[in-house]
Amino acid sequence: MITTGQKIATQRVERSRLQDTDLNNIKFGRVFSDHMLVMDFEDGAWKAPTIVPFADLELSPAALVLHYSQTIFEGLKAYRTANGGVSIFRPQANIARMNRSAKRMCMPQIPEDLFLDALVQLVQLDKDWLPEGDEASLYIRPFLFASDEYIGVKPSDNYKFIIFTCPVRSYYNEPVRVKIETNYSRAFPGGTGEAKCGGNYAGGLYPAKMGQDQGYHQLIWTDGLTHQFIEESGTMNVFFNIEGTLITPALDGTILHGITRESIIRIAQDEGIRVEERPVTVEEVVSAARNGRLRSAFGAGTAATIAHIATIAFGDEEFTLPEIAERRLANQVGQRLDDIRRGRVADPYGWLVPVA
C-alpha cells in the first residue's frame, strides 16, 4: 500500500447502500458507491478537499458550466488483484492527461500529489463496492467544472472538482458493429479533440444515434477536413491488424491520448509485435478488408478496454471480420494487459498503484 501525503477529512455514510445492491446484476454507469470527493477552487486557490456521502449537487441555474460547457473529466479503474488486494491502473497518467485538458480549457490544474491522494483514499474507503469476477472493476470518474454564477463568455473564476466511483462489469457484451463516418466530424485541427472535455462528446451524439438507428454500436470518426483519414472509434482509440502489423492513427492534436492505447502499444512492442503509429487512410482499411488482409480491428479505452469489432461498414459495403477466437494478436495483447491489471503476472512497468 502506498503512503499518501495528506489525510483527507472524511464524512462517512450512516448506512451503506451496498447491502441493498446486487453487484452481480449492475448496468455500466448506473450504480454508484457510497462516497465522493469534493474540492473547490476559489479566490485563486484550491481549498481543502473532503470526502462526503454521494449525493446530489446544489447548483445555480446561472452556473457557467451549464451555458458554456467549461468542463473536463477522466475515467480510470481499480481492480481486484490475484493476491487479494486492490490496485488502481495508471492513475498518474490520467492525472497528467486531466491537467493537460485543464490547460486547454482555461481551467486550474490540480496538484498531482493531492489528486493521487484523493484517488487512493476514496478507493480505499469504497473498495468493498468492487465486484468479484474476471470482468469486474471499480470505475473512477474525476471531473472539474466551472461554477461561477455568471452569464458571460469567459473562463470561470471558481471551479468544483469531484471524484466518484461506480462498480461495473463489461461495457460491451458482444463484439461491436461500426460504421465509418464521412459526413459529420468529431474534431478539427486547432480544436479540442485531444482534450477530454464534455463538448467533444455532446457533438458526437447525433451522428452516433443515426448510426445506432442503422444497427451500429459505434462510429469510426474520420478527419474533419477531408474525411480521408481514420481518427477514433466512438469513445475509444482504434487499432487495425493488417497482415500482422498493429496499426493505429498517430496522435495529431485531434485524437485523445488514450492511456489504454498507450498501454497496448507498449505491451505489443515488448511482445515482439510490429506496431505503427501513423496516419491511417480510410482507403487502406477498406482495401485491406476487401481482400482479406484485415485480420482484426478493435477499439481501446478505459470503459471497454478492448472492444473487438465484428463488422465495419463503409458506404454501401459491410465487411465481416474474422471470429474473435481467431484473432491471435488482439487476444494476446488483451490478455497480457488484463493479466497485468489484475496482478496475475508481474507488473514490469510500474503501472499499478496498490491501495488495499
Cα(238)–Cα(174) distance, rounded to whole angstroms? 17
Task: Please tell me the pTM assigned to this model.
Answer: 0.96
Same domain (yes/no): 162, 127: yes
- Domain holding 139: CATH number? 3.30.470.10
Same domain (yes/no): 266, 299: yes
Same domain (yes/no): 19, 135: yes
105-139: burial string, b at 16+ Cβ within 10 Å, e else: bebbbbbeebbbbbbbbbbebbbebbbeeeebbbb
- Give the largest Cα separation in the chain, rounded: 62
Residue 27 inside a domain? The answer is yes
Q: Answer with the one of 169, 199, 221 that is the final residue of a domain.
A: 169
Same domain (yes/no): 186, 255: yes
Cα(164)–Cα(36) distance, rounded to whole angstroms? 5
Same domain (yes/no): 203, 328: yes
Cα 25 vs. chain centroid, distance in angstroms?
22
Amino acid at 209: K
Residue 349 inside a domain? The answer is no
Residues 6+ apart with CB under 8 A from 145: 63, 65, 70, 71, 72, 159, 160
| Helix or strand (DSSP H, E) at 86 | strand 86-89
Residue 354 inside a domain? The answer is no
- Domain assignment of residue 206, given as a range: 176-341
Residue 352 inside a domain? The answer is no
Number of structural domains found in the chain? 2
Residue 351 inside a domain? The answer is no
| Signed CA dihedral, 55, 60, 61, 66: sign only | negative
Q: Answer with the one of 140, 169, 198 that is the final residue of a domain.
A: 169
Closest CA to 179 of 282, 38, 332: 282
Same domain (yes/no): 181, 138: no
The tens-digit pLDDT sequence of the chain (356 residues) is 344 578 999 999 999 999 999 999 999 999 999 999 999 999 999 999 999 999 999 999 999 999 999 999 999 999 999 999 999 999 999 999 999 999 999 999 999 999 999 999 999 999 999 999 989 999 999 999 999 999 999 999 999 999 999 999 988 888 999 999 999 999 999 999 999 999 999 999 999 999 999 999 999 999 999 999 999 998 899 999 999 999 999 999 999 999 999 999 999 999 999 999 999 999 999 999 999 999 999 999 998 889 999 999 999 999 999 999 999 999 999 999 999 999 999 999 999 999 98
Residue 297 inside a domain? The answer is yes
**Cell of residue 46, nine digits:** 484550491
